[in-house]
Amino acid sequence: MLSMEYERLALEFLTRPIKHSPTDPMTFARWLSLSDAEREDEKRHWFPFEPGYWHTLAVEAAARFNAEFGSKPHVTKVFKSLYRARELIVAVQTDLPSPRNVDLP
């Protein structure tokens, strides 16, 4: 038996309007050219557990972040990850004990 949340997500996936196909060549440069509102609208159509261009964007974002900030003191790893199983993020691992933080954007 499927959970109600899983059923809701499946229905949302099957009935969503398609802005880009999962294999559409949305580039990181194109992503950066979108307004904040356009990015938020685009993200509403992402399904992180499905194949799609959104993974390529997240990997490139993590690589760019790592290139710029990965050598800061205490940063040990920068990678693409999921937040609450719905949002792709750039995650940063440090060697600092909790709750200390590294000053990053």
pLDDT (tens digit, 9 = 90+) per residue, 41-88? 888 888 888 888 889 899 999 999 999 999 999 999 999 999 887 889
pLDDT band at 1 (very low <50, low <70, confident <90, very high): very low
Tell me the C-alpha distance between 69 and 103, whole Å. Answer: 10
The DSSP code sequence of 5-33 is HHHHHHHHHHH---SS-TTS---HHHHHH
